Structures are given as structure tokens and as C-alpha cells.
Amino acid sequence: MSLLKLLIFHPILMLSAFTGTAHGYYTYTMYDCVYSTSDYSDMVYLNSYSFNQVVDLQFNSSVGKYVGYTEQGVKFAENFNKDPAIMQQQKAEVDRFCRHNAQIWDSAVRDKSVKPKITLRSARQAGGSRPAVLVCSAYEFYPKKIKVSWLRDGKEMTSDVTSTMEMADGNWFYQIHSELEYTPKSGEKISCMVEHASFSKPMITDWDPSLPEGERNKIAIGASGLVLGIIIAAAGLIYYKKKSAGRILVPN
Ligand SMILES: *[C@@H]1O[C@H](CO)[C@@H](O)[C@H](O)[C@H]1NC(C)=O
């Protein structure tokens, strides 16, 4: 057991020895590695000590020292920060523990990730005082963790996102659907941003307010049908006119 663990466990062991188990005191230590880039350049190592549900102190590798959050925690932080052996060890953890393990975990999970297929469609057009509804969906991705957000002119929107649901397809793949209810303004750009381990950077899909392809195709098919109808009708009319004109020429 390291000196660090000895220091933190000692008072807690004492406490439980005096209070027994009936009160259910609970202590835990967390070691977190937080990162979102594939080169681990943004890796942050956190070491937090909690008693009951309160975090007493935490080492954050970006800060480079322990910070206490409770009266007890402040004392512990002070002592830890004074100890060069502890500080040297904690400062090394971002490489020794986080980057090292992230490589192992990623080769097992992230490198087997599957990119989501993203669609952005209109579920309801704006009309009168009724806002428009857009749906951004991501299909068949792995692993489960994903973030779907909405941007208006590049800035994240939070207030108008009505629902986000994530579902398991039951075959290791997942899908997610996020709805945005908004009042369109001319000249603005609405985008759906998807963040997933399979992407090296967030995937941004811009909303094209002109008619979607399906609608354009329907209009094109309808228009072609109309033109064809007019041609046939005109041909029929000409044929009829010619025939009836011919009939007049034939004496009865
Ligand atoms: C770690 O510290 C940095 C720098 O102060 C801060 O931006 C970041 O939010 C901290 N991380 C956590 C999880 O507290």
C-alpha cells in the first residue's frame, strides 16, 4: 500500500472501528482518465477521494496538485501537496496510468468502433405560430457512447432540443434520434453535430432548408407526368381535329 493510500485509509478505518457498520459510512477513491482525442493530447488524470457522497479532495493533472473541497479535504490536500514523492507519482499518472491504459482499452473498443450513418430530416414544417421540427438520427454505430447536439450558426443550442433517445438495436449496434423544435429565421444555418469515438473530430451536418431530395424527386416525377399528359392530350386533340376535318371532306 502506498503512503498516499495509507494516509487516507487510516482515519477512515479508525472511524469505522469506532462507529461499527450500522451507520453505513462509505468511502471510495476514484481514478479517472478523461480524454476525447485519439492522440491523447487532451488527457486529464483525476484522483478523487470521497466520504459518503462528498468529494473531499481531488488531484487534477491539469492543475498539477490536490485541491481540497471540505475542511478535512483541505488538510489532506495540504499534506499531499507538501510530499514530493506523492506529487511526483501523481504527476506521472497521466502517462503511466491514463495514456498507457487508454491505448490498451482503445485497441479493444475504440479501434473496433463503427461510424454512425447520419440523417437530418424535417419532421414538421413551420406554419403560423407553430415551430418547425427537425430530426437528426444516427444509425448503426458502436460503441454506445455518443453525443448529438444542435448548432445555430455554429453555436450550440440547448433550449429547443425536445428529445434525445438512444436505443440498442440488439446486435451490438445503437441508434439515436434527437429532435429540435425551432422557428426558422432567414440567413441562419442550423446544423446537427455528432460526436462519437469513431470520428477524429465532430461530424457536422448542415440543414438544407430547400426541399429534401425525396420531395424534389416527387415534384420532378409529377412535373414529367404533367408534361407527358399535356403532350398526349395535345396529340390526341390534333389527331381528333385532323380526323374530324377529314370527315367533313368526305361527302356522305
Ligand atoms: C481539471 O482542471 C482543468 C483546469 O483547471 C479544468 O479545466 C477541468 O475542468 C478540470 N477537470 C475536472 C474534471 O474537474
Q: What is the pLDDT of residues 149-160, one digit of tens each?
A: 999 999 999 888
Least confident of 61-70, 217-226, 243-252: 243-252
62 lines ligand 1 (CB under 6 A): yes
The answer to whether residue 167 is domain-embedded is: yes
Peptide bond into 251 cis (omega under 30): no
Query: 62 and 103: one domain?
Result: yes
Q: Do 91 and 176 sit in the same domain of this protein?
A: no
**Are 103 and 151 in the same domain?**
no
Q: Which three cell numbers stand for residue 244?
A: 374530324
Domains of the chain: total: 2
For 22, the grid coordinates are 450500522
The reply to whether 86 and 12 lie within a common domain is: yes
Q: How far is the CA of 180 from the centre of ligand 1 (A)?
A: 30
103 and 126 housed in the same domain: no
With a 6 Å cutoff on the Cβ, whether 60 touches ligand 1 is: yes
What is residue 138's predicted lDDT score, i.e. its pLDDT? 96
| CATH number of the structural domain spanning residue 56 | 3.10.320.10
Which protein residue's CA is at the shortest distance from atom 5 of ligand 1? 63
- We report the CATH number of the domain holding residue 140 as 2.60.40.10
Ligand 1 centre to CA of 181 (Å) is 33
CA distance to 18, 20, 175, 209, per residue, from 13 (Å): 9, 10, 46, 64
Q: How far is CA 90 from CA 62, 103, 206, 230, 249, in A?
A: 11, 19, 43, 81, 109
Instruction: Tell me which residue has its CA closest to atom 8 in ligand 1.
Output: 62
The SS3 call for residue 68 is: strand
Assess if residue 215 is contained within a domain.
no
**In a domain? residue 214:** no
Looking at every residue in the chain, the average pLDDT score rounds to: 86
Query: Is residue 216 included in any domain, yes or no?
Result: no
Of 51, 42, 83, 54, the C-alpha closest to 66 is 83
Residue 177 CA to residue 187 CA, distance in Å, equals: 26
The residue range of the domain holding 140 is 117-206
Evaluate whether residue 14 is within a structural domain. yes
CA of 215 to the centre of ligand 1 (A): 48
Q: One-letter amino acid identity for 220?
A: A
The answer to whether residues 124 and 141 belong to one domain is: yes
Q: Which of 206, 229, 246 is at the close of a domain?
A: 206
What is the per-residue pLDDT for 24? Answer: 76
Distance 35 CA to ligand 1 centre (A): 12
The reported pLDDT for the residue numbered 22 is 56
* Candidate of 43, 63, 91 to mutate for ligand 1, largest count of ligand atoms within 8 Å of Cβ: 63
Ligand 1 atom closest to the Cα of residue 60 is: 1
CB distance 55 to ligand 1 below 6 Å:
no
Helix (H) or strand (E) holding 145: none
Predicted confidence at residue 135, as pLDDT, reads 95
In a domain, 244, yes or no: no
pTM: 0.49
Whether residue 92 is found in the same domain as residue 136:
no
Q: Residue range 156-177: average pLDDT? A: 87
93, part of any domain:
yes
Do 138 and 76 share a structural domain? no
Q: Give CA–CA dist 88/52, Å, rounded.
A: 28
Cβ–ligand 1 contact at 63 (below 6 Å): yes
Whether residue 19 lies inside any domain: the answer is yes
Q: What is the pLDDT of residues 222-245, one digit of tens each?
A: 999 999 999 999 999 999 988 887
